[in-house]
Amino acid sequence: MKKKYKILVTGGAGMIGSNLVKKLVHNGYNVFVADNLWRGKKEYLSLDKKSMIIPDNNFYQVDLTNYKKCLQVTKQMDIVIHLADVVAGINYVFSNESSLYRTNTLINTNTLKACIKNKVKKYIYAGTACSYPKSKQSKINPPPFKEDEVYPAEPESAYGWSKLMGEYEAELAYNSGLINIEILRLHNVYGSPAELDPSISQVIPALCRKVIESQNKELVVWGSGRQKRAFVHVDDVVSGFVKAINKKTKFNGVIQLGPNYSTSIAEIAQRIVFISKKNISIKFDKSKPEGDFDRMANNSKAKNILKWSPTISIDKGLKKVFDWCELELKKKQ
Ligand SMILES: NC(=O)c1ccc[n+]([C@@H]2O[C@H](COP(=O)([O-])OP(=O)(O)OC[C@H]3O[C@@H](n4cnc5c(N)ncnc54)[C@H](O)[C@@H]3O)[C@@H](O)[C@H]2O)c1
């Protein structure tokens, strides 16, 4: 792929987006960002207090539920990496299912339609492992999922449905010859910068914050702690997107990014407590939602087609996030 290509990253001020933008700028691309800053932050893209990693003119603060805005921001783009969507922790997702489904569906359908209209050369969509069927994720130690096991569809949440419909519509457009696409279906991505507001943060930053702020020597974890996820560090995910940009072959169906093993939330909590060097006991609040029980990726497609495998161990990744959270919370004091 030519280095002078214009790349738009929607949701580029978010956790995955801001890391990806930094990598693409470093690789010499002309990078643009479209984000309404619902959860992303402009400061995630700053180099220092004065300047941003991309020129100010390359940052569009827009709501992508609006088709006209989608048309404006995708104009003359060669590649669009579409990451913008409402993403949040489990409590937010299950308390706002109707509005979340509608918002994500509008963002995804409008962005795709605008990319087709503006003849974007490649549209890269981020799907989620939350789209796998609920019944398959309710077993203990299920075999690692293959990509096509997402159908017959039965995601547990409106979030999982909205993201799956985004995949489905992109595939329809590709199959109708309207646009070239890639779809990466991500397992549980963690890293920094991360949202620390407890009402919308995800499990790892939420647990780091609770441990850092713990006064009462007790960490309360939502659910039984037995629920497991295939956690993948954001740096590994960014390398997957870079490979998808550079992929020369045509779309070979969805490719999932994630490890072929899962880690329980109880284990994550223990590791974070260990990193903190605090003497904290862990309690499980079983009255709170915990989502699907277990899932992990059969990542042979990523290995064979993208030459991608996860490289960052959970211990190294958790330490990086914990240190970042500690610094961030200190700044707020
Ligand atoms: N983090 C994960 O574990 C994970 C797992 C699977 C898939 N994904 C997908 O990866 C993508 C990025 O996720 P993330 O973890 O970086 O989340 P994030 O919340 O940090 O990033 C999403 C960005 O989209 C922006 N956004 C939300 N609504 C918008 C709107 N109406 N218009 C414009 N921008 C809007 C937010 O402000 C945010 O910056 C999402 O599509 C998500 O579904 C994430």
The answer to whether residues 83 and 11 touch, using CB atoms and an 8 Å cutoff, is yes
Spacing, Cα 38 to ligand 1 middle (Å): 9
Query: Which tokens sit at 132?
Result: 């796998």
313-323: string of b/e by CB count within 10 Å (b at 16+)? ebeebbebbbe
Spacing, Cα 290 to ligand 1 middle (Å): 20
Spacing, Cα 22 to ligand 1 middle (Å): 16
* Index of the ligand 1 atom closest to the CA of residue 65: 31
- Which helix (H) or strand (E) segment is 74 a member of? helix 67-74
The rounded distance, in Å, linking the Cα atoms of 151 and 133 is 7
Q: In a mutational test of the pocket of ligand 1, which residue from 85, 130, 186, 254 has the highest number of ligand atoms less than 8 Å from its CB?
A: 85
pLDDT attached to residue 199:
86
Query: Which residue puts its alpha carbon closest to atom 9 of ligand 1?
Result: 126
* pTM: predicted TM-score of the whole model, two decimal places: 0.95
3-state secondary structure 128-181: EHHHCCCHHHHCCCCCCECHHHHCCCCCCCHHHHHHHHHHHHHHHHHHCCCCCE
pLDDT attached to residue 3:
53
pLDDT attached to residue 215:
83
Residue pLDDT tens, the chain, 333 long: 455 899 999 999 999 999 999 999 999 999 999 999 999 999 999 987 778 999 999 999 999 999 999 999 999 999 999 999 999 888 899 999 999 999 999 999 999 999 999 999 999 999 999 999 999 988 888 899 999 999 999 999 999 999 999 999 999 999 999 999 999 999 999 999 998 998 888 899 999 999 999 987 899 998 899 999 999 999 999 999 999 999 999 999 999 999 999 999 999 999 999 999 999 999 999 998 877 789 999 999 999 999 999 999 999 999 999 999 999 999 887
Query: Which tokens sit at 114?
Result: 């605008």
Beta bridge partners of 306: none
First to last CA, the chain: 45
Q: In a mutational test of the pocket of ligand 1, which residue from 68, 87, 183, 262 has the highest number of ligand atoms less than 8 Å from its CB?
A: 87
Q: In a mutational test of the pocket of ligand 1, which residue from 9, 10, 16 has the highest number of ligand atoms less than 8 Å from its CB?
A: 16
**C-alpha triplet 49, 52, 58: angle, nearest 5°:** 150
User: Residue 262 burial by CB count (10 A; 0-12/13-18/19+): exposed, middle or buried?
Assistant: buried
- Which helix (H) or strand (E) segment is 114 a member of? helix 97-117
Spacing, Cα 160 to ligand 1 middle (Å): 13
pLDDT attached to residue 266:
97
Spacing, Cα 223 to ligand 1 middle (Å): 24
Query: Which residue puts its alpha carbon closest to atom 40 of ligand 1?
Result: 83
**Domains along the chain with CATH numbers:** 6-191+230-260+295-311 (3.40.50.720)
Ligand 1 first shell, C-beta below 6 A: 11, 13-17, 35-40, 63-65, 83-87, 107, 126, 128, 163, 186, 188-189
The answer to whether residues 130 and 188 touch, using CB atoms and an 8 Å cutoff, is no
Amino acid at 100: L
Spacing, Cα 129 to ligand 1 middle (Å): 14
Residues 6+ apart with CB under 8 A from 150: 131, 132, 133, 164, 167, 185, 254
pLDDT attached to residue 10:
98
Spacing, Cα 40 to ligand 1 middle (Å): 8
Query: Which residue puts its alpha carbon closest to atom 21 of ligand 1?
Result: 14
Amino acid at 173: A
Query: Which residue puts its alpha carbon closest to atom 41 of ligand 1?
Result: 83
pLDDT attached to residue 285:
92
